[in-house]
């Protein structure tokens, strides 16, 4: 891994773009598969995501924590791995080069793209709408929440469900497009079981943080870069309290989406009728739903899912799937020579097992990253990797409303043959 021309050009066997769980898992597995090979991981954030406390529940089922570490962690643990804190700005697939925001160039033999996903945010231009995806946006959210009496949460996936359960001392209006809460993960019957947990709130008791404390030395070159996504249980270690006396107050609006977002002055001019208990000009922002109702609140949390982060790839001739992800085959290869992809940025485009499907979750990001490393090493050797057993059966361990939940197969049961 020699540095040439005033340290502006780096040559490496394996390059990885992305310091999230897929990218780090790929780097760590490369160190196992080919210990002497040089690896460069390019991370826009000064922190990387590491899987810790891995607990193998069964042969195909495991749970783990995701922790943030300074990039020196990887370099100390794997001496042939170098982490560059910069953004990739261009991939020249013909020259096998990656151009970085710090003017450096990385020349690779094999590249794995693990750039993750970015949040879909409604009314993104509004200062009252916040999308929660990474550590930086959580800090903004925590500050806004501390002075809020009412928030409106849009979305019915993992982050939305977790927020509704974790937020206290703040009224919540929860707008979902489905007939039941948590429809991404469980059916109406399970939703009815969990519903009482919403207004009962969290169980009181000491919580031991499994995250390591860390500090960044000097100035971090974060600028406006989107950081890597939050880990499981992120909300356990953040103060999610508003400023109302009442601990829990949740109102759910079913089968609706956001039609429009109005600031206070706009609503007054339109003279629309609101459902606010306070005078109609007392909230800074109002949300009109497709069911015709209008709710005022202090701010809006957009948690409507993510889309693959492929902005870097648009200048290249990659094949993209209908969901926006870059297509990969069963060797995690894209259509461009020597370029692989793993995690949220990619879409599995081979003939899938009838009991497995892609869902952009931490479990699959880790599995894909590790398997991509095996594929890259096999490709260097002129071999074909055997498809990992993790792609035979969908498994995921998570928590909802304080309960540990294990998801298997097509967990709705609709596609499982009797």
Please give the full DSSP string across 396-412, using - where no structure is assigned.
Answer: EEEEETTEEEEEESSTT
Does one domain contain both 161 and 269? yes
Confidence of residue 58 (pLDDT cuts 50, 70, 90): confident
Confidence of residue 130 (pLDDT cuts 50, 70, 90): very high
Does one domain contain both 157 and 254? yes
Cβ contact 242:166 at 8 Å: no
Does one domain contain both 341 and 357? yes
Q: Write down the pTM of the prediction.
A: 0.86
413 within domain boundaries:
no
Confidence of residue 42 (pLDDT cuts 50, 70, 90): very high
Does one domain contain both 295 and 152? yes
Does one domain contain both 41 and 172? no
* Residue 2 CB partners (closer than 8 Å, separation 6+): 10, 11
Does one domain contain both 112 and 126? no
For 189-239, write each residue's pLDDT tens digit: 888 988 888 877 666 543 433 333 333 444 444 444 454 555 555 555 567
- The whole-number average pLDDT for the span 363-386 is 98
Q: What is the pLDDT of residue 298?
A: 96
Does one domain contain both 170 and 280? yes
The dihedral over CA atoms of 30, 116, 305, 414, expressed in degrees to the nearest 10, equals -40
Last residue of a domain, one of 248, 282, 305: 305
**Alpha helix (H) ranges present in 146-282?**
158-166, 188-200, 264-270
Confidence of residue 68 (pLDDT cuts 50, 70, 90): confident
Q: What is the pLDDT of residue 277?
A: 54
418 within domain boundaries:
no
Dist. CA 149–CA 130, nearest whole Å: 16
- The whole-number average pLDDT for the span 277-294 is 83
- Give the residue, 75 or 305, on which the prediction is more confident: 75
CATH number at residue 164: 3.50.50.60
Q: Return the structure tokens found at 256.
A: 């609706």
Does one domain contain both 256 and 287? yes
Cβ contact 101:6 at 8 Å: no
- Its sign, for the CA torsion 37, 43, 47, 51, is negative
Number of domains in the chain: 2
For 114-128, write each residue's pLDDT tens digit: 999 998 888 888 999
At residue 318, does pLDDT exceed 90? yes
For residue 234, give its domain range: 120-203+225-305
Phi, psi of 391 (to 5 degrees): -90, 5
Does one domain contain both 27 and 85? yes
Does one domain contain both 149 and 248? yes
Does one domain contain both 67 and 159? no
């Amino acid at each position: 891994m020699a540095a040439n021309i005033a340290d502006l050009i780096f040559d490496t066997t394996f390059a990885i773009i992305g310091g999230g769980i897929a990218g780090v898992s790929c780097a760590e597995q490369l160190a196992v598969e080919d210990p002497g090979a040089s690896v460069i991981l390019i991370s826009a954030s000064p922190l990387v995501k590491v899987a810790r406390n891995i607990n193998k529940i069964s042969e195909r089922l495991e749970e783990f924590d995701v922790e943030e570490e300074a990039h020196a962690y990887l370099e100390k643990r794997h001496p042939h791995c170098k982490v560059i804190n910069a953004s990739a700005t261009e991939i020249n697939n013909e020259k096998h080069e990656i151009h970085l925001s710090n003017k450096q160039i990385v020349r690779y033999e094999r590249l794995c793209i693990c750039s993750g996903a970015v949040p879909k945010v409604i009314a993104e231009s509004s200062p009252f709408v916040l999308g929660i995806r990474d550590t930086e946006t959580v800090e903004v959210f925590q500050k806004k929440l501390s002075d809020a009496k009412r928030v409106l949460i849009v979305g019915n996936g993992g982050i939305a469900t977790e927020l509704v359960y974790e937020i206290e001392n703040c009224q919540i209006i929860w707008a979902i497009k489905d007939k039941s809460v948590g429809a991404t993960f469980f059916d109406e019957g399970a939703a009815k079981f969990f519903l009482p947990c919403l207004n009962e709130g969290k169980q009181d008791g000491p919580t031991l943080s499994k995250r390591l404390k860390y500090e960044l030395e000097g100035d971090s070159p974060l600028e406006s870069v989107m950081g890597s996504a939050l880990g499981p249980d992120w909300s356990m270690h953040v103060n999610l309290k508003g400023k109302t006396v009442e601990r829990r107050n949740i109102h759910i609006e079913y089968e609706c989406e956001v039609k429009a977002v109005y600031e206070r002055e706009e609503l007054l001019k339109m003279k629309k009728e609101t459902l606010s208990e306070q005078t109609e000009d007392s909230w800074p922002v109002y949300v009109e739903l497709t069911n015709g109702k209008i709710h005022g609140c202090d701010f809006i949390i957009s948690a409507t899912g993510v889309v693959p982060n492929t902005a870097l790839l648009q200048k290249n001739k990659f094949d993209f799937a209908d969901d926006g992800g870059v297509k990969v085959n069963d060797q995690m290869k894209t259509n461009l020579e020597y370029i692989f992809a793993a995690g949220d940025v990619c879409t599995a485009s081979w003939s899938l097992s009838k009991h497995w499907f892609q869902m952009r979750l931490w479990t699959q990001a880790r599995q894909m990253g590790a398997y991509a490393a095996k594929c890259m090493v096999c490709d260097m050797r002129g071999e074909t990797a055997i498809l990992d057993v993790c792609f035979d059966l969908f498994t995921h361990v998570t928590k909802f409303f304080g309960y540990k939940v294990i998801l298997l197969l097509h967990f709705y049961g609709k596609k499982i043959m009797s």
